[in-house]
Structures are given as C-alpha cells and as structure tokens.
Structure 1
C-alpha cells in the first residue's frame, strides 16, 4: 500500500505533458507570433505551439489539401471563410483578430515617402517591392492602393514581387527595392523600428485589412486549437497585437433583450 501511495504521489507531481498545436500564420505576424505563443503557453502551461509563417494564400491551398495545421491565422477574412464553406475549417470558430495597415517604406534617403503616392513619380525610382497580390492579402491591398492612385500601370516594369509580406520587407532591407509597400506591423517591429522612414497610407477609400483566425478540420479534435483562437480576443493578446502595429476589429455588439 505504501508503495502504491508513493507511486500515485510521484505521478501527481510530474509536470503536465506538453501538448502541441500546429499553427499556420500570415507573414505579417512574424514579429509578434513568438510573443503571442509565449503568452498563450503561460495561460495554458501544457500548450506548445509550432508555428509556420508564410503567404495566406499558400496556406489556404495547403489546408484545403489536408495539411496538418490546426489553426490558421490569415491576413484576411476571405481565405479562412472559404475554408469554412468548403468544410476544411470549423465555421463557428471564424474570428477577426486584427486589422492591418499598409505603409510606404524606404531606407533610401533620396526618396521622401511623406509625399505619399507622388513619390512614385520620381524618375530615379526603378524598383518597388510588394507581396504577391495573388496569394498575399497585403499584396492585394497594395495593388488596390496603387490602382486607386492611378500608379499601377506605370509601375508594372518596376515591381519586385515577394512571395509574402516578409519577403517584400527583405527586398527593401537588402537594397533590392528602393521602396516597399509593406505592413505597418513590419516596420514598427522591434527588429526594424527606427530604420528608414515610412508613410502610413490613409484608410479613406481603402477596404480595411481585417485578419481572421479559424480552427481547421485537422484541429477540430484538439481543444487547444479553439482555446488559442479564443485567446486572440483576450486583453493580453490584443495588447500584444496593438503594440506591434495592428488595429483591432470592432467588438461585436451585445445582443439586445
């Protein structure tokens, strides 16, 4: 009996077994996803996040074809909503978690991005970076902004297209592009804050970049998946996102009656 009690005591005092959650996250989250993961693991000690970052459109295609990601953090609402319609995600978990903004960013002192879209008229400008509009919501937003300003056709030969927003940022960092149209979250991140200059494009006339999270079909039976999506709406998670340059989606109105 004593040996049995001792064994039970040892089992009860063992640390909880880590449980893994596989997360696919849009590249604009690259600079804050580790902090979000650490905060979630503090709230749920047994949770261990394994995160891949990349273009939302690429993750969308992979998840549709059965990739093992259990949570999808997209840079838009369309991709996760489509997964839910296709049965590749749990519709009830679809949640807006952040609002992105785009900026003009340069490390080249010859270009004054405070001019806004007029900077693209500078004859010295030969290379402009943006994320691929076909798979990256920030790339679509950049293209829409350029089209609205009447700059898109003339810039076609000058475009340097990154697979995702992180690669577009890298093009500017390495000098392969003189100006980038990138996420505000990138340029205010601790790694890049204070480098070069940026101009926040006005929101007027532009569709907001509302970003959505969803539990995938692969994550349906992992309780951590739903808990992580819910965690993104907590004050702690929202504070982290805001500190990294994201806006917050409107809080749903409480039901009447």
Structure 2
C-alpha cells in the first residue's frame, strides 16, 4: 500500500507541474489533457532549436477566460475547437488556427479499485445498481471539454441522472485523473492521453472508450496577437512529423494539416 501511495503522489506531482523555463520564454496556454505529450514535445523543441517555452496547463474554458482578460499567452492549445473560434470572433487571434490532435476518453481506476473496466461501462453500472459505487471522477463539464464529453458518454448510456450524486468534479481533466487514482474514488472518465502515460500506468489501469458516443474532441491551436518569433516557431514545430509522432504515442488521432509546408 505504501508503494501505491508513493506512486500516486509521483503522478500527482507530474500532472500538476509545468516546466520552469526562463521568464523571457514565451508563455503558452495548453489544455491539461496534453501535458505529458506537450512536455515531451517542448523538450524536443528546446533540444532541436535551442529555444524554450513556458507552458501553463488548465481547462480550456478557464484558459480562454484568462486570455480574454489580457493574460500574456502567445499560443493557445485548446481541447475543443469551439474555444478557438470564440477567440477569433472576439479579434484576439488573427486566424482560427489549426487542428493539431483528436482526443479520446478512457475509463480509468486505481489498481486497488473493485471497478471492472469495459467500454460499455457494464462494471460501473453494476456497482451503481448494487450500491457499491462511492465516488466517480470526471472533469467539470461546465468548462472542461473532457468533462463535457464524459457527461455526453454517460448520457448516451442512460447513466447520467443515476450517477450524478456520486460524481467528483476535477477543475480540469488532469485533476480528474488525480481523483481517479487517489484511492478516494472508485475511478473516473479521463483523457486517454493521461491514462497512457507511464506515470499513470504505474498506479492505475484503463480502457479506451469509443469516440462515436460523444461529440468529437477536435483539439485546435492558435497564435494570439501577442505571438513573437519563438511562439511562431513552436507553432510550426507542433505541426511537424516529430511532434505528431509524440501525439500519436499518447493516443491522439491526427488530423490532416492545412498549413502550407506542414
């Protein structure tokens, strides 16, 4: 049990941390679900170009609010393209950006949980019907796209009304993943990209969920009007084959790119 608690603590530290680069590096806002993938890409970027970026992770809705109120982000990677379109309509960006990945959900639980994992959530239904389910984690559907899609998934299976009293909301999907692994919940619906991370698999297990039972998680990125040369370079770097391979490594689908030379 001590080793399990230690492994959970390590995972929580990993998902909660952001690279502490020099203050003159451009500030990047990114959806929490891409943390492990984007940290790896950012490290590759620094190795390949000598340039650095500072990344702040959070729920897409909250990051949009920060950008609208003047936060100095030069690039925004959203978990849902609707937020990019909102910013573009407000004139915060000069374009509607580029799709960089297609996200997926996963049902996850700590290895100590009695929850049986399956795409149809039969194990979850059984625990709910038998009164064995205590708490279940998802991201807050009001401002986190992965929480919104988790709600759609549960609605598709006719479970939303029955499970609401058991739900614990994470501020973003990374926090939902922390809750799902903490031992204080029976599990949760999180981002597949987080569940596939080695730090997660050390303490939990997961099953990928069908993507046709919820609105697509079309993840779009865009440069803001504050973007400088390094942010623009990183934006281009994210569309190159090396970066796309990292997204694939963490379970993302890859859209066709439309940028010239991408």
After TM superposition, the score normalised by the length of structure 2 is 0.83
Give the deviation of 1:159 after TM superposition.
Answer: 0.3
Question: 1:159-207: CA deviations, max 9, x gaps?
Answer: 0000000100111221121111001111111211253321211123432
2:230 corresponds, among 224, 228, 239, to 224
Q: Tell me what 1:154 maps to.
A: 162
User: CA separation of 1:175/1:209 partners in 2, compared to 1, >3 Å: closer, same or farther?
Assistant: same
1:190 corresponds, among 198, 217, 223, to 198
3-state SS of paired residue (2:188): strand
Moved more, 31-40 or 176-185: 31-40
Tell me how far apart the structure 1 counterparts of residues 161 and 122 of structure 2 sit (CA, whole Å).
15
Question: 1:47-100: CA deviations, max 9, x gaps?
Answer: 2211111111100000011100111011111111210110112215x0111111
Give the deviation of 1:132 after TM superposition.
Answer: 0.5
Question: 1:110-161: CA deviations, max 9, x gaps?
Answer: 2111263222321211211000111111001101101111100001100000
Asked if 1:233 corresponds to 2:235, the answer is: no
Judge conservation of contact 2:113–2:183 (CA < 8 Å) in 1. no
Q: CA RMSD in A?
A: 2.0
Tell me how far apart the structure 1 counterparts of residues 54 and 143 of structure 2 sit (CA, whole Å).
22
Moved more, 94-103 or 171-180: 171-180
Structure 1 or 2, whichever has the larger Rg, is 1
Tell me how far apart the structure 2 counterparts of residues 33 and 183 of structure 1 sit (CA, whole Å).
14
* Matched ranges for 1:1-257 at <5 A: 20-45=25-50, 47-91=51-95, 94-107=97-110, 108-114=112-118, 116-121=120-125, 122=127, 123=130, 124-219=132-227, 222-252=228-258
Tell me how far apart the structure 2 counterparts of residues 41 and 149 of structure 1 sit (CA, whole Å).
44
Tell me how far apart the structure 1 counterparts of residues 233 and 119 of structure 2 sit (CA, whole Å).
44
The total of aligned residue pairs comes to 234
Tell me how far apart the structure 2 counterparts of residues 188 and 233 of structure 1 sit (CA, whole Å).
22
Give the deviation of 1:251 after TM superposition.
Answer: 4.1
> Structure 2: which 5+ runs fail to align?
1-21
> Structure 1: which 5+ runs fail to align?
1-16
Give the deviation of 1:36 after TM superposition.
Answer: 1.0
